[in-house]
Structure 1
Amino acid sequence: MTTLKDTPTTLMFHAEMIPPISDSVGDAVQQSLPPLAPRGDLFSYSTFLESRPPAFETYAVEEILSLAELAPNLHLHIVHLSAIECIPLLKKAREAGINITAETCFHYLGLASEDIEDGDTRHKCCPPIRSQTNQDRLWEELTAPDACIKTVVSDHSPCTPELKLLPPHLQTITEDDTSGSGIRHNDSGVDMTLSGVEAVQPFTSGKVQGEGDFFAAWGGISSVGLGLPILHTSAAARRAYGESAPTLLDIVRLCCQATAKQVGLSHRKGGLKVGMDADIAVFDDEEIWTLHAGEMRWKNKCSPWEGHRFKGRIRETWLRGRKVFELGGPNQGFIGGAPVGEAILERRTHTTPGSLHGMSFLFFLSFFFVVFRHHELVLGGQRLNNENS
Structure 2
Amino acid sequence: MTSEIFVLTGRNVMLPGCADPQAATIKVDLSTGKIIDIQSHHANKESLPSGNQNIRWVDAGDKIVLPGLVDAHVHLNEPGRTDWEGFWTGTRAAASGGITTVVDMPLNSIPPTTTVDNLETKRTAAAGQCWTDVAFWGGVIPGNESHLKPLISAGIKGFKCFLIESGVEEFPCVSEADLHIHMKELQNESTVLLFHAEVDRSTTSSERSDATDDPTLYGTYLSTRPEEMEVNAISLITKLQEAYPSLRCHIVHLSASSALPIIRAAKSRGLNLTVETCFHYLCLSANEIPKGHPEFKCCPPIRDDSNRNSLWQALREGLIDCVVSDHSPCVTELKKLEEGDIMGAWGGISTLGLGLSLLWTEGRKRGVTLGDIVNWLSERTSHLAGLSGKKGQLKVGYDADFVIWDPEAEFKVTKDLFKFKNKLSAYEGMVLTGVVQQTLLRGRVIYDKSRNGFEGLSPLGNLL
Q: Provide the TM-score with structure 2 as the length reference.
A: 0.58
| Residue matched to 1:7 | 189
Counterpart of 1:85 in 2: which secondary structure? helix
**Where in structure 2 are the equivalents of 1:89-168 lying within 5 Å?**
89-144=262-317, 147-167=318-338
Match of 2:362 among 228, 234, 238: 234
Counterpart of 2:451 in 1: which secondary structure? coil
Match of 1:292 among 414, 422, 436: 414
**Alpha-carbon distance between aligned partners in 1 of 2:258 and 2:281, rounded to the nearest angstrom:** 14
Structure 2 residue 397 is matched with structure 1 residue 275: yes
| Residue matched to 2:232 | 59
Deviation at residue 79 of structure 1 after TM alignment: 0.3
Greater fraction strand:
2
Contact conserved, 2:209 with 2:223, CA < 8 A, in 1?
no
| Residue matched to 1:339 | 459
**Alpha-carbon distance between aligned partners in 1 of 2:212 and 2:300, rounded to the nearest angstrom:** 19
**Where in structure 2 are the equivalents of 1:60-79 lying within 5 Å?**
60-79=233-252
**Alpha-carbon distance between aligned partners in 2 of 1:289 and 1:322, rounded to the nearest angstrom:** 26
**Alpha-carbon distance between aligned partners in 1 of 2:410 and 2:282, rounded to the nearest angstrom:** 19
Contact conserved, 2:220 with 2:343, CA < 8 A, in 1?
no
| Residue matched to 1:348 | none
**Alpha-carbon distance between aligned partners in 1 of 2:355 and 2:342, rounded to the nearest angstrom:** 25
Q: Give the % identical residues.
A: 43
Q: Provide, for residues 13-57 of structure 1, a one-character-per-residue CA deviation record: whole Å limited to 9, x for no partner.
A: 0000113xx4751xxx4xxxx677556211110100111000010
**Alpha-carbon distance between aligned partners in 1 of 2:301 and 2:380, rounded to the nearest angstrom:** 24
**Alpha-carbon distance between aligned partners in 2 of 1:230 and 1:39, rounded to the nearest angstrom:** 36
Q: Provide, for residues 142-186 of structure 1, a one-character-per-residue CA deviation record: whole Å limited to 9, x for no partner.
A: 121xx321111111111122221113xxxxxxxxxxxxxxxxxxx
Q: 1:45 to 1:24 in 2, by over 3 A?
A: farther
| Residue matched to 2:199 | 17
Contact conserved, 1:24 with 1:36, CA < 8 A, in 2?
no
Q: Provide, for residues 215-250 of structure 1, a one-character-per-residue CA deviation record: whole Å limited to 9, x for no partner.
A: 211111111121110011001233xxxxxx431101
**Alpha-carbon distance between aligned partners in 2 of 1:227 and 1:5, rounded to the nearest angstrom:** 33
Q: 1:138 to 1:39 in 2, by over 3 A?
A: farther
Deviation at residue 303 of structure 1 after TM alignment: 0.3
Q: Can you give the 5+ residue segments of structure 2 that lack an aligned partner in the other structure?
A: 1-182
The count of residues paired between Structure 1 and Structure 2 equals 282
When structure 1 is superposed on structure 2, of 262-271 and 6-15 the one drifting more is 262-271
| Residue matched to 2:387 | 265
Counterpart of 1:272 in 2: which secondary structure? coil
Q: Provide, for residues 116-159 of structure 1, a one-character-per-residue CA deviation record: whole Å limited to 9, x for no partner.
A: 11111111100000001111111111121xx3211111111111
**Alpha-carbon distance between aligned partners in 2 of 1:122 and 1:35, rounded to the nearest angstrom:** 22
**Alpha-carbon distance between aligned partners in 2 of 1:45 and 1:24, rounded to the nearest angstrom:** 18
| Residue matched to 1:301 | 423
The amino acid that maps onto 2:431 is: R
Greater fraction helix:
2
**Alpha-carbon distance between aligned partners in 2 of 1:35 and 1:254, rounded to the nearest angstrom:** 35
The amino acid that maps onto 1:16 is: E
Counterpart of 1:284 in 2: which secondary structure? strand
Deviation at residue 338 of structure 1 after TM alignment: 4.8
**Alpha-carbon distance between aligned partners in 2 of 1:109 and 1:276, rounded to the nearest angstrom:** 30
Contact conserved, 1:12 with 1:78, CA < 8 A, in 2?
yes
Structure 2 residue 176 is matched with structure 1 residue 48: no
Counterpart of 1:143 in 2: which secondary structure? helix
Q: Can you give the 5+ residue segments of structure 1 that lack an aligned partner in the other structure?
A: 168-210, 239-244, 345-389
Counterpart of 1:317 in 2: which secondary structure? strand
**Alpha-carbon distance between aligned partners in 2 of 1:290 and 1:217, rounded to the nearest angstrom:** 26
With a CA cutoff of 8 Å and minimum separation of 6, indicate the structure with the bigger relative contact order: 2
CA RMSD of superposed structures (Å): 1.7
Counterpart of 2:185 in 1: which secondary structure? coil
The amino acid that maps onto 1:323 is: V
Q: 1:118 to 1:75 in 2, by over 3 A?
A: same
Match of 2:378 among 231, 256, 260: 256
Deviation at residue 336 of structure 1 after TM alignment: 3.7
Q: 1:13 to 1:39 in 2, by over 3 A?
A: farther
**Alpha-carbon distance between aligned partners in 2 of 1:213 and 1:17, rounded to the nearest angstrom:** 24
Contact conserved, 1:23 with 1:36, CA < 8 A, in 2?
no
Q: 1:125 to 1:254 in 2, by over 3 A?
A: same
Q: 1:251 to 1:39 in 2, by over 3 A?
A: farther
Contact conserved, 1:106 with 1:154, CA < 8 A, in 2?
yes
Counterpart of 1:125 in 2: which secondary structure? coil
The amino acid that maps onto 1:148 is: L
Contact conserved, 2:191 with 2:247, CA < 8 A, in 1?
yes
Q: 1:71 to 1:82 in 2, by over 3 A?
A: same
Counterpart of 1:3 in 2: which secondary structure? helix
Counterpart of 1:122 in 2: which secondary structure? helix
| Residue matched to 2:342 | 214
The amino acid that maps onto 2:233 is: A
Counterpart of 2:347 in 1: which secondary structure? coil
The amino acid that maps onto 2:196 is: H
